[in-house]
Structure 1
């Protein structure tokens, strides 16, 4: 078992206090957005096996079978297929969507062939992998997820009483679903110059009025986004999406092509080992409208809020339709719980303290905010610590 030393990513949208509080550290006054746990080359975790800190990515590359197990290497290749994060949004993240595996491979190959530097601000595809993800709320967590039905989006826009939205309302009410959503998003993202400024100003004032009339609801979230990103046409795009408020322990799964944006809150996020993002607003970063429209799935409906399914061993699983990652948690009582060691896994303690005892006799105690990597040795690990909450990230073999 290896205690992980992890990197905090200081993106501008990050909370100043949430991650320091989780880690029991003093806030620096700067945003701290994501705590990365895993072997992504962007910020791999580090471990010390007696000869000084080493990158987990390097250790896995030196002997994938010893670290990941033969079954995982055969199924996913010689690298850790998931990345675990603590995500803390102090301000909204961009509206975004992620490509499926074939789109990612094609997009990455195209940009490589054209010589687009991988760190270029206009680069869309950082790697050739897809990026399905799951976010589980540690505290109340607000976000936007998936398209509303065209009728529901039209109703929302109409309720604002903003004349500039009338053409979108008509479009949404009179076209088939996929066509209506696609044309509405394309229309919004094509606004530029004075027309964009006027439209966003009018809609921002309308959502502020609606939020004042019904404080604490979804209009408050849209007003918040408008204040954080003044003049950004992403505000209009946000009205096409479902507003979701997760309670602690609830989760959302986001597959390829699902437009979404996290607004505020802290959660545990797990995703395939990728950094491919196509943005659609609420951001100063590059927005590639044609590529976004090509990747997005134009289908309306309510998102499924996931609640964990508990098995007989006390493991609370968040079921997802892919194998690259599997997220579960243990809320420990007086009885210890056991996890097997057939696959690579990361354990993250988010409440209390947990003692890990491996069948080889080694032990490790994790405090709140600490994490450990457990190689696929085949041995089991016992978890104990009444009152502790432990998230387990692994794969499905």
Structure 2
């Protein structure tokens, strides 16, 4: 049977998405026949079997990818098929971000199962949701807690933050950081995390009235002083995007501000705070939609769950970035420390070719720029590669990609069995 199938993938329209004429999500969706409205925000393109936006095989029957995978065990391998209940374990996405997403974290499997059992109307499945983002364009995010020294400094530079958290807690924190902030002993790190949790809880559980009053005071002060540093400009921008006093604006003083160039990546494990701010990225995650939010959002905020679930790891912005390894001559592999997925980035100049050896599991690839041809050694057909084209590739299928004169760039997510 065939092992390579072209897919039509669905978009999600959220308020934070880029408008149609500048959204990569819209451009890629248009390539497979989706009509695009240039006044509508196109936030996400979903590639996979998730029931909220399932991909469709572009054949005469409009077969769902879910049915294709379920009905053909060899496309996954028996091991992957059994480990993930005849489904794909990952959801592959393109995101186009016009304004900041919510400050959020994703539960681990234990917490995900409990939240699903207790609040199924909010948390829709029992799975965890580790995720990885690879920048397609210059990309900004908040990711993980800043070094403790930076947080302590922000309490002084932005006194409104200290007033909101409580000066007693902030004084305790600054004293602790001065004495033990850079300690590498396990005991000191554990105590530092406990105090960091106390500080973050003080911030996130502040009254709406206090947040609104102090944020208004902070933004007015920054505008009056014509503050031009990166963090102050970020605070002003986030306040403009979420006016009315959102505690998430203050959170950016505690979380790392990460800037990525195309091809750079971050991995967001369970129980780690983050928020995407702007740009376009390729994202891959475990097949779940569980999100615990606590800021920069009009949606339901589950502050107590978020405060208690976080790991409170702290470190530099650069430490949040992943280091890829070589996969083939023109390909890099991003392989996060989880079972469900890894992602390959292939970039070819005009006329170059690249071979991917067979992978013992299913994969999905999307062309993000350029054009060319795709062939598989177990599939006699040749397939067009154009910007926005998406293909499902069955397990154990070596593929060869050849770039046209314009060059070629594509990303490929895959999963293999771990049992």
Same-fold call, TM cutoff 0.5: yes
SS of residue paired to 2:118: helix
What corresponds to 2:163 in structure 1?
164
Deviates more, 1:22-31 or 1:82-91: 22-31
When normalised by structure 1's length, the TM-score is 0.90
Match of 2:66 in 1: 57
Equivalent position SS for 2:246: coil
SS in 2 for 1:225: helix
SS of equivalent residue, structure 1 residue 388: strand
- Assess if the C-alpha contact under 8 Å between 2:28 and 2:389 holds in 1: no
Does the 8 Å contact 2:327/2:344 carry over to 1?
Answer: no
2:408 counterpart (360, 383, 388)? 388
Q: State the Cα distance separating 1:213 from its structure 2 match.
A: 3.1
Quote the Cα distance in structure 2 between the aligned partners of 1:9 and 1:207.
Answer: 36
Question: How far does residue 28 in structure 1 lie from its aligned partner after superposition?
Answer: 2.0
Farther off after superposition, 362-371 or 193-202: 193-202
- Per the alignment, residue 323 of structure 1 pairs with 339
Q: Which residue of 2 aligns with 1:141?
A: 139
What does residue 325 of structure 2 align with? 309
The answer to which of 334-343 and 384-393 deviates more is 334-343
Shift of 1:223: 1.8
Three-state SS of the structure 1 residue aligned to 2:41 is coil
User: Which residue, out of 9, 13, 36, partners 1:6?
Assistant: 9
Question: Offset of 1:99 from its aligned partner?
Answer: 0.7
User: Which runs of structure 1 show a deviation greater than 6 angstroms over 4 or more consecutive aligned residues?
Assistant: none
C-alpha distance 244-255 of structure 1, shift in aligned 2 (>3 A): same
Is residue 2:118 matched to residue 1:107?
A: no
Post-superposition offset of 1:369: 1.6
**Any gaps of 5 or more consecutive residues in structure 2?**
177-190
Alignment partner, residue 352 of structure 2: 335
Partner of 2:183: none
Q: Mean Cα displacement is larger for which, 334-343 or 101-110? A: 334-343
- In 1, Cα distance between the equivalents of 2:301 and 2:251? 13
Within the candidate set 277, 284, 292, 1:270 is matched to 284
SS of structure 2 residue aligned to 1:87 = strand
In the other structure, the counterpart of 1:362 is 381
Aligned equivalents of 2:27, 2:113: Cα separation in 1: 39
In 2, Cα distance between the equivalents of 1:366 and 1:312?
A: 19
1:330 is displaced (CA, Å) by 0.8
1:22 positional shift: 4.8
Q: Which residue pairs with 1:120 in the alignment?
A: none
**Alpha-carbon distance change, 147 to 209 in structure 1, aligned in 2, over 3 angstroms:** farther
Closer/same/farther in 2, CA of residues 160 and 391 from structure 1, 3 Å limit: same
Give how far 1:194 is off. 2.4
TM-score, normalising length: structure 2: 0.85
Shift of 1:191: 1.8
